[in-house]
Amino acid sequence: MSQLMMEKKSLEERVLDNVDKFILPLLDKMKNRGSQIDIGYITLLEDTLKQLTSAFGSNLTRRMPRLTPRENEICNMIRSGLTSKEIAAILNISYRSVETYRNYIRKKLGILNEKVNLATFLTTLK
């Protein structure tokens, strides 16, 4: 069992190393050439790659398996610090649609209380 844990840790470190050495520098170069929407996608991709070994996705799925793939995508974007307006531009949907998704996500996660910030809540699911 401890051997498996060590192998898992080693794999995670190698993946993160490769992402840091090879992929993130390419994304930085692409940011300088893209449109505002492209830069949004690249930033999101960069954040997702940095969190590759985090347990966010599995924690979110375990906590609320009824989220749709689009809701999971929006959760990841919110967690990455994107605003509703930025999410709308990246996904090519209306601001109002993003707000509706946010409300559905809040309901499904059981955080209807307005005092609970969705981004902060999602950040705690690491």
Decide: 85 and 95 in contact? Cβ < 8 Å: yes
Q: Provide the CATH number for the domain around residue 88.
A: 1.10.10.10
Give residue 45's domain range.
2-123
Our count of domains for the chain comes to 1
Token duo for residue 21? 């050495």
pLDDT tens per residue, range 37-89: 778 778 777 777 766 545 555 556 566 668 888 888 888 888 888 899 989 98
Q: Side chain identity at 20, as an amino acid letter?
A: D
Token duo for residue 72? 């999971």
Please tell me the pTM assigned to this model: 0.57
pLDDT tens per residue, range 88-124: 988 889 999 999 999 999 988 888 877 888 888 887 7
How distant, in Å, are the alpha carbons of 3, 29, 42, 82, 116 from that of 36? 46, 14, 10, 13, 30
